Structure 1
Amino acid sequence: MKAEVDSATEITELKSKLDLMHRDIKRMMENSNKEYLDLMLKNLKKDFLNCITAHISEDIENSLERGMVEKCQMRETCKSKFTELLERNADLIKQDKVPETQVTESKGELNNLRAEAPFNKCDVCFLEVTDVFEKQLKLMRSLHIYNGPEEIKMDISDISEDILVRDVFEPLSNRQRLQIMKAVAVETKTFTSLSQLTGLRGGNLIFHIQKLLDSNMIIQRHERGDYMITEKGYKILKTVSQIGCMFEDAPEPETLKA
Structure 2
Amino acid sequence: MKDSGRKKENSPESPVAPEDPEMVEIKAIRDKLCDMHSDIKKVMEYSNRLRFETAMECSRQEYSNAILSHLHEDIDTGLERNMVKKCPEKENCRSSFAALLQKNAGLVKQGRVDEVLLSDNREKLEELRCGAPYSKCDQCFSEVSSLFTKQVNLMRSMRIYASNQEQKADLSALETGALMREVLEPVSNPQRLEILRAVAFETKSFSAFSEITGLRGGNLLFHLQKLMDSGLILQQHERGDYMITEKGFKILQGLNGLYSSLQYSPLQISAEKTPGEKGEIRV
TM-score, normalization by structure 1? 0.66
Gaps of 5+ in 2: 1-15, 200-205, 263-283
SS of corresponding position for 1:154? helix
- The amino acid that maps onto 1:89 is N
Which residue number corresponds to residue 73 of structure 2? Answer: 58
Indicate whether 1:182 and 2:205 are aligned: no
Question: Which residue is 2:219 aligned to?
Answer: 196
Cα distance 1:28–1:123, how it changes in 2: closer, same or farther (>3 A)?
A: same
Alignment of 1:24-103 (within 5 A): 24-103=39-118
Counterpart Cα distance in 2 of 1:146 and 1:155: 12
> 2:123: which partner in 1?
108
Report the Cα offset of residue 27 of structure 1. Answer: 2.1
Residues 108, 35 of structure 1: CA spacing in aligned structure 2 closer, same or farther, 3 A cutoff?
Answer: same
What is the alpha-carbon distance in structure 1 between the residues aligned to residue 59 and residue 67 of structure 2?
Answer: 12
Corresponding residue for residue 247 of structure 1: none
Instruction: Please name the residue that 2:275 is paired with.
Output: none
Computing the radius of gyration over CA atoms, which structure comes out larger, 1 or 2? 2
Q: Is 1:172 the counterpart of 2:187 in the alignment?
A: no
Task: Give the Cα separation in 2 of the matches to 1:97 and 1:6.
Answer: 64
Cα deviation digits, residues 159-216 of structure 1 (max 9, x gap): 6xxxx7xx64267379xx95424245665298997x738x979xxx77x975xx5xxx
Q: Distance in 2 between matches of 1:145 and 1:227?
A: 25
User: Identity over the aligned pairs, expressed in percent?
Assistant: 31
SS across alignment from 2:169: coil
Say which SS state the counterpart of residue 111 (structure 2) adopts. Answer: coil
Equivalent residues in 2 for 1:152-171 (5 A)? 152-154=167-169, 168-169=176-177
Q: Cα distance 1:148–1:13, how it changes in 2: closer, same or farther (>3 A)? A: same
Q: CA deviation at 1:54?
A: 2.0
Give the aligned residue type for 2:188: K
Change (3 A) 1:147 1:186: farther
Q: Partners in 2 of 1:57 and 1:180 — Cα distance?
A: 42
Question: For residue 123 of structure 2, what is the amino acid of its counterpart?
Answer: G
Q: Secondary structure at the match of 1:172?
A: helix
1:119 matches 2:127: no
Q: What amino acid does structure 1 have at the position aligned with 2:153?
A: K
CA RMSD of aligned residues (A): 4.3
Classify 1:219/1:19 alpha carbon distance in 2 versus 1 (closer, same or farther; 3 Å).
closer
Q: Is the 8 A contact 2:232 2:244 kept in 1?
A: yes
